[in-house]
């Protein structure tokens, strides 16, 4: 499927909207000059367009499969992975001490989006490794870092994370996997894990599993969980993979989409593992990896949305149907134009939010400032949930643009919808992201939220002279969101917050989208001003109905009985 990386959008957002200049002004990231940034994006775009995009369809038609205990990957995936690894794209933001490039997370985020738009099934592999690299950098012993990080960063080895069990999905604390001390500093890991993305492959030397398990003295729940490195092949002191560990792929899941990405049931039978972080401190270490992945998964949704949009746009420009004016193609029909413009406007908003998040992470790394850290934490669930919701909505609309042909597999439109659907589920469902936003992320009495709202209102005030109607709409939306945020913070019963958590997150994303579109219009680009007008006049008003939903609380919802639902 043809794919073109939207590098001009990336550059515009970095230059005019998301504050990337603040990142490069720090000593930590001063080497990320405009010339270097442009070269990186150009080179990554070339790889995605020429190497990865042609694999998109192959991964769907020729899924990964299990052959006598060995995972065989889709045709071309080994070459695609090699291009990713040798290009240095896995360790872009990893520490130079271990072979990484030390580049801003903002650039890694953009490259991850490109790879997702080109071939999501393959991109999921390096995303898992990136999360594992960050977890090891923050929590592993020096010996583990020295042994594993260079291999993961180079792509010679790849990483996974093992959380879920048949009885322990979102409730990770219910896991039963055991870790028994071996008496030599290692542990015997026994248990079963499910839904393990890229648990094995036929193109890397080793697969490194981060596994959550409970020590014999671990208390019930999440506070008794520890994290362990459990490699497929046990390396010797110089990093050469040795004997096979006591673990195996039991089976691969038969999935709705992402057929090129093997998702496994894993069995650990006294496998040798090494503790990462302190005993019973597994969740803190795993959340480092999961928060990295939540930004990455939000970007996966945006990347797939871009691919689906380009696919639909090309079809709409070519397909002749009805009495359309102009070229006679269906793109001239008002309703098709509405669908395409909605797709483009939402992708732009979601991408900008993700980049705001990445910039906040970079500024936290560069300055250690608590305000930047709080901003990054607040934006993470919004990025994940809104980015993946946009991915699903845009891919679904892409099928609609194709009409009947969208329901025919040969056009490829349906693959985007099937592949992206899981992104709203893994790394914490979008409902869990919303609950996190209105609870944990508001333990500061809403301070991080109010700072963002103040920034949005200041931006609207600055835009009043050039775009009075658009500025007023964004300002009023932010004020309504502020009032609802004040109401939320005042609810001590978390159920009152949780009942409206999903619409609240969506409303916050809508208002942030209005802010970034208005900022783009202020940069003087006529096309972006027209897109901003569409978003602010037609999509931003959605926030009002969502916030009404939020303020209803939980009473009427909880009054509905189980019998009512079954009737």
- The span from the CA of 454 to the CA of 450, in Å, is 6
Cβ neighbours of residue 224 closer than 8 Å, sequence gap 6 or more? 173, 214, 215, 218, 280
Instruction: For tokens 């004016």, name the residue.
Output: 325
- The span from the CA of 189 to the CA of 211, in Å, is 9
Instruction: For tokens 């995303």, name the residue.
Output: 127
CA 260 to chain centre: 18
Could you tell me if 249 and 232 are in contact, meaning their C-beta atoms sit under 8 angstroms apart? Answer: no
Averaged pLDDT, 16-25: 97
* pLDDT recorded at residue 284: 86
* pLDDT recorded at residue 323: 81
Which value, in Å, is the radius of gyration of the alpha carbons in the chain? Answer: 24
Based on the number of CB atoms within 10 Å of its own CB, is 564 exposed (0-12), middle (13-18) or buried (19 or more)?
exposed
Averaged pLDDT, 540-552: 98
Could you tell me if 412 and 314 are in contact, meaning their C-beta atoms sit under 8 angstroms apart? Answer: no
- pLDDT for 263-302, tens place per residue? 999 999 999 999 999 999 998 888 887 777 899 999 999 9
| Signed CA dihedral, 366, 371, 374, 380: sign only | negative
Based on the number of CB atoms within 10 Å of its own CB, is 265 exposed (0-12), middle (13-18) or buried (19 or more)?
middle
Averaged pLDDT, 452-461: 98
Domains of the chain by residue range:
158-281, 442-566
Confidence of residue 1 (pLDDT cuts 50, 70, 90): low
* pLDDT recorded at residue 144: 97
Least confident of 231-240, 319-328, 495-504: 319-328
Residue 299 phi, psi (nearest 5): -70, -30
* pLDDT recorded at residue 524: 81
**What are 271's strand-pairing partners?**
189
Q: To the nearest whole percent, how much of the chain has pLDDT over 70?
A: 100
pTM over the 0.95 mark: yes
> Which residue among the candidates 134, 165, 306, 427 is catalytic per the annotation?
427
- The span from the CA of 81 to the CA of 505, in Å, is 35
Catalytic: 427? yes
- Which residue stretches of 446-500 are H helix? 447-463, 468-489, 494-498
Confidence of residue 506 (pLDDT cuts 50, 70, 90): very high
- pLDDT for 373-418, tens place per residue? 999 999 999 999 999 999 999 999 999 999 999 999 999 999 999 9
Its CATH architecture, for the domain 158-281, is: Beta Barrel (2.40)
- The span from the CA of 171 to the CA of 167, in Å, is 8
Could you tell me if 362 and 29 are in contact, meaning their C-beta atoms sit under 8 angstroms apart? Answer: yes
Confidence of residue 175 (pLDDT cuts 50, 70, 90): very high
Q: Is the pLDDT of residue 538 over 70?
A: yes
Confidence of residue 545 (pLDDT cuts 50, 70, 90): very high
DSSP collapsed to 3 states, 242-257: EEECCEEEEEECCCCC
Could you tell me if 150 and 239 are in contact, meaning their C-beta atoms sit under 8 angstroms apart? Answer: yes
């Amino acid at each position: 499927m043809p794919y073109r990386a939207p590098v001009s959008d990336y550059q515009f957002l970095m230059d005019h909207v998301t504050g990337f200049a603040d990142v490069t002004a720090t000593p930590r990231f001063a080497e990320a000059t405009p010339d270097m940034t442009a070269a990186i994006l150009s080179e990554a775009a070339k790889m995605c367009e020429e190497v990865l995009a042609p694999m998109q369809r192959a991964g769907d038609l020729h899924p990964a499969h299990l052959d006598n205990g060995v995972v065989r990957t889709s045709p071309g995936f080994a070459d695609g992975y090699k291009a990713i690894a040798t290009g240095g794209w896995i360790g872009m933001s990893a520490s130079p001490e271990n072979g990484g490039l030390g580049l801003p997370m903002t650039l890694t985020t953009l490259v991850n989006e490109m790879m997702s738009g080109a071939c999501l099934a393959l991109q999921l592999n390096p995303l898992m490794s990136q999360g594992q690299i960050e977890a090891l950098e923050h929590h592993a012993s020096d010996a583990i870092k020295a042994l594993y990080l260079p291999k993961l960063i180079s792509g010679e080895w790849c990483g996974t994370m093992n959380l879920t069990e048949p009885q322990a999905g979102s409730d990770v604390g219910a896991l039963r996997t055991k870790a028994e001390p071996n008496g030599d500093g290692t542990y015997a890991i026994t248990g079963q894990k499910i839904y393990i993305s890229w648990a094995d492959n036929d193109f890397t030397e080793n697969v490194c599993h981060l596994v959550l398990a409970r020590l014999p003295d671990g208390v019930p729940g999440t506070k008794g969980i520890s994290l362990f490195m459990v490699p497929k092949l046990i390396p010797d002191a110089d990093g050469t993979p040795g004997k096979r560990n006591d673990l195996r792929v039991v089976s691969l899941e038969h999935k709705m989409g992402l057929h090129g990405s093997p998702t496994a049931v894993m069995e650990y039978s006294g496998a040798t593992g090494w503790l990462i972080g302190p005993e019973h401190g597994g969740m803190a270490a795993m959340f480092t990896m999961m928060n990295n992945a939540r930004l990455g998964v939000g970007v996966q949704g945006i990347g797939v949305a871009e691919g689906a949009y380009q696919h639909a746009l090309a079809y709409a420009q070519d397909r002749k149907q009805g009495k359309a004016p102009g070229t006679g193609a269906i793109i001239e029909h008002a309703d098709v134009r509405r669908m395409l413009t909605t797709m483009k406007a939402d992708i732009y908003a979601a991408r900008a939010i993700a980049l705001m998040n990445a910039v906040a992470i970079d500024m936290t790394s560069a300055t250690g400032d608590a305000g930047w850290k709080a901003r990054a934490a607040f934006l993470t669930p919004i990025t994940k949930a809104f980015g993946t919701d946009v991915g699903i909505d845009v891919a679904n609309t892409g099928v609609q643009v194709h009409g009947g042909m969208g329901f025919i597999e040969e056009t490829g439109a349906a693959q985007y919808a099937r592949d992206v659907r899981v992104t709203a589920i893994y790394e914490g469902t979008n409902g869990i992201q919303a609950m996190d936003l209105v609870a944990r992320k508001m333990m500061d009495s809403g301070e991080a939220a109010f700072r963002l709202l103040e920034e949005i209102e200041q931006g609207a005030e600055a835009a009043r002279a050039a775009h009075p109607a658009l500025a007023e709409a964004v300002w009023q939306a932010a004020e309504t969101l502020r009032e609802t945020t004040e109401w939320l913070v005042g609810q001590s019963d978390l159920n009152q917050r949780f009942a409206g958590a999903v619409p609240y997150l969506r409303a916050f994303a809508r208002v942030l989208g209005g802010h970034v579109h208005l900022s783009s219009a202020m940069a003087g680009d006529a096309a972006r001003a027209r897109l901003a007008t569409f978003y602010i006049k037609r999509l931003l008003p959605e926030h009002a109905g969502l916030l009404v939903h939020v303020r209803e609380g939980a009473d009427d919802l909880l009054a509905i009985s189980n019998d009512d639902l079954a009737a």
